[in-house]
């Protein structure tokens, strides 16, 4: 668990009208020891913020009563200490630009990347910790970089190198001026380059060390490809890249550059402000390495490892798109275990958990690899079959599953019996809503319970 998140214990509010998204975010944050409040519309978000302090809002744009942009505007005005990250499926450039201009910390598209979101929260928590202790190192560094770049541009035009040294050497950033030639020969570099790379300014300027030669071999091609050569671009920014210092240490560099042209508009030089972002990038790389497991946590049930409600909904949505193309039907089987509560009450939750894991394994063993088995509640499972010819095919599957679940489960010295009530909905309509299909199967499942359990029923409209 990221220590900085533990230390600060951010107060987080999730505002999203999609229940699945709210619950998914809650589950992800809980894994990392973070608690959050959930609201379903913009007005509820503002009402809650009037009552309690909120450090961070994870905000959707499309919401009833008050949309995300209205909420963001209100937060920026009334709660300036609260940070906002937009999580939205409305991923237009205009929306992103508007949100960032209105004060949002960042704008992430749905489906969000759990690693990216956690990295943002981690960085925010680190910053708040430093601010609490009276440190504003990152903020001052950023302002120094921007200030240095502006001043360097003015100074280079005047060719006042002495003044350049005075300004940039007092900055945490390193200033470079490269010629637009092969290997980017260095015409000027600030003396504080030694702190960053280990090489002296003279070694770069005399050509003993070529700048491209210290860029990590895996990043050289990308570094070159990111350099624009059109007539319009004035400033550009490399994605963070790695360099190898004189001592052999690998560092990550943030490189903000601009282009110098002559009177014919030909590029003569590139000038850049470089800053060491190794700590930040190493943290990000670590998060990316854990991305697979994080995505698994966000979309799978912790006990059984099966897809959860959120992933089921996504796969069901994909199946709906497919059925029209393949001219078949999809079937959704909603399974509720009979008498499961009696096991929990008599033998405890450890026994119940073992039974659930055995049931999950049996369901998987009796469907195809391409089918989806999900756990969506305590003792509720769903099987999604996305390509069936008709009702008779589904009956065979339901009977097979029912028979499998009837078999005794052995736990320690106990022989346990669990049966199931199954509700089935069929769809061949590519415009049908996933929630409606699940709801129909749920209704049919309750019909199975009413007629005696340990059976299955198809949904029939009344």
Q: Where in the chain is the domain with CATH 3.40.50.2300?
A: 3-135
DSSP secondary structure, 203-218, as one string: HHHTTSS-HHHHB-TT
Average pLDDT rounded to a whole number, residues 84-104:
75
Hey, is 53 helix, strand or coil? coil
Residue 441 pLDDT: 95
Q: Which CATH number fits domain 301-458: 3.40.50.1370, 1.10.287.130, 3.40.50.2300, 3.30.70.270?
A: 3.30.70.270
Reported as half-sphere exposure (CB side, CA atoms, 13 A), residue 31 has a value of: 18
pTM above 0.95, yes or no: no
Q: Work out the average pLDDT over 268-279.
A: 88
Span 3-48, pLDDT tens digits: 334 445 789 999 998 888 888 888 788 777 788 999 999 999 999 9
Top-confidence residue, 328 or 291:
328
What's the pLDDT band for 397 if we cut at 50, 70, 90?
very high
From 407, 440, 401, select the one nearest 424 (Cα to Cα): 440
Q: Residue 293: what are its φ and ψ, rounded to 5°?
A: -70, -35
C-alpha to C-alpha distance for 420 and 405, rounded to whole angstroms: 7
Q: Which CATH architecture has domain 138-278?
A: 2-Layer Sandwich (3.30)
Give residue-wise pLDDT tens across range 229-238. 777 788 888 8
- Asked if 267 and 260 touch (Cβ cutoff 8 Å), the reply is yes
Q: Is the pLDDT of residue 216 over 60?
A: yes
Whole-angstrom Cα distance, residue 164 to residue 151? 8
Q: Using CA atoms, how far apart are residues 439 and 434, in angstroms rounded to an integer?
A: 9
pLDDT classification of 373: cutoffs 50, 70, 90? very high
Residues carrying CATH 3.30.70.270, the chain: 301-458
Q: What is the pLDDT of residues 311-369, one digit of tens each?
A: 999 999 989 888 877 778 899 999 999 888 888 888 988 899 999 999 999 999 999 99
DSSP for 160-176, please give it: -HHHHHHHHTTSSSEEE
Domain boundaries for CATH 3.30.450.20 within the chain: 138-278
The residue-averaged pLDDT of 376-395 equals: 91
Per residue in 101-111, pLDDT tens?
A: 788 888 887 77
**pLDDT category, 295, cuts 50, 70, 90?**
confident
- Which two structure tokens, joined as six digits, stand for 319? 């199946």
CA 254/CA 146 separation, integer angstroms? 13
As beta bridge partners, residue 15 has 39, 59
172 has a pLDDT exceeding 70: no
pLDDT-derived band of residue 94, with 50, 70 and 90 as boundaries?
Answer: low
Per-residue pLDDT band at 446 (split at 50, 70, 90): very high
How would you list the strands of the sheet with 372-375, edge to edge? 372-375, 380-388, 329-338, 419-427, 455-458
- Residue 194 confidence (pLDDT) above 50: yes
The strand pairing partners of 409, in sequence order, are: 416
Query: Nearest to residue 61, comparing CAs of 18, 29, 27?
Result: 18
H or E element in which residue 139 lies: helix 137-158
Report which of residues 83 and 24 the model is more confident about. 83
Fold type of domain 3-135: Rossmann fold (3.40.50)
pLDDT number for residue 6: 43
| Spatial CA neighbour of 69 closest among 188, 420, 77 | 77
Position 136 pLDDT exceeds 50:
no
CA 57 centroid distance within chain: 15
For the ranges 1-10, 72-81, 218-227, 451-460, the lowest mean pLDDT is seen at 1-10
Strands 250-261 and 235-237: antiparallel
Angle at which helix 19-31 crosses helix 114-132, to 10 degrees, equals 60
Range 433-448 average pLDDT: 92
238 closest CA partner among 250, 230, 227 = 227
């Amino acid at each position: 668990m990221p220590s900085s998140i533990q230390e600060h214990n951010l107060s987080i509010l999730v505002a999203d009208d999609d229940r699945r998204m709210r619950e998914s975010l809650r589950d992800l944050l809980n894994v990392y020891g973070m608690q959050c409040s959930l609201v379903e519309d913009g007005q509820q978000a503002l009402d809650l913020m009037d009552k309690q302090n909120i450090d961070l809002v994870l905000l959707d744009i499309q919401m009833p009563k008050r949309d995300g942009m209205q909420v963001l505007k209100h937060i920026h005005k009334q709660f300036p200490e609260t940070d906002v990250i937009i999580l939205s499926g409305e991923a237009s450039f205009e929306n992103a630009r508007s949100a960032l201009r209105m004060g949002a910390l960042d704008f992430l598209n749905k489906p969000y990347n759990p690693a990216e979101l956690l990295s943002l929260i981690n960085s925010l928590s680190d910053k708040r910790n430093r601010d609490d202790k009276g440190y504003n190192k990152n903020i001052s560094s950023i302002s120094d970089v921007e200030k240095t770049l502006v001043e360097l541009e003015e100074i280079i035009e005047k060719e006042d190198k002495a003044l350049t040294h005075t300004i940039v050497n007092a900055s945490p950033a390193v200033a470079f001026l490269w010629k637009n030639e092969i290997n980017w020969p260095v015409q000027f570099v600030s003396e504080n380059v030694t702190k960053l790379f280990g090489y002296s300014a003279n070694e770069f300027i005399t050509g003993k060390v070529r700048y491209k030669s210290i860029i990590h071999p895996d990043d050289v091609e990308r570094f070159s490809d990111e350099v624009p050569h059109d007539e319009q671009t004035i400033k550009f920014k490399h994605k963070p890249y790695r360099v190898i210092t004189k001592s052999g240490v690998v560092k990550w560099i943030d490189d903000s550059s601009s282009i110098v042209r002559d009177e014919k508009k030909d590029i003569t030089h590139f000038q850049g402000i470089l800053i060491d972002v190794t700590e930040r990038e190493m943290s990000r790389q670590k998060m990316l390495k854990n991305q697979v497991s994080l995505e698994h946590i966000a979309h799978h049930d912790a006990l059984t490892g099966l897809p959860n409600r959120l992933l089921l909904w996504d796969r069901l949505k994909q199946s709906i798109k497919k059925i029209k193309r393949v001219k078949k039907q999809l079937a959704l089987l909603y399974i509720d275990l009979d008498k499961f509560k009696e096991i929990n009450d008599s033998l405890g939750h450890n026994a119940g958990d073992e039974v659930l894991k055995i049931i999950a394994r049996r369901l998987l063993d009796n469907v195809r690899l391409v089918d989806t088995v999900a756990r969506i509640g305590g003792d509720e499972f769903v099987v999604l079959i996305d390509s069936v010819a008709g009702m008779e095919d589904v009956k065979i599957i339901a009977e097979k599953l029912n028979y499998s679940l009837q078999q005794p489960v052995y736990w320690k010295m106990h022989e346990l019996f669990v049966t199931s009530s199954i509700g089935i909905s069929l769809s061949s309509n590519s415009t049908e809503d996933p929630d409606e299909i699940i709801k129909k199967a749920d209704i049919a499942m309750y019909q199975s319970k009413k007629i005696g359990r340990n059976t299955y029923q198809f949904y029939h409209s009344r």
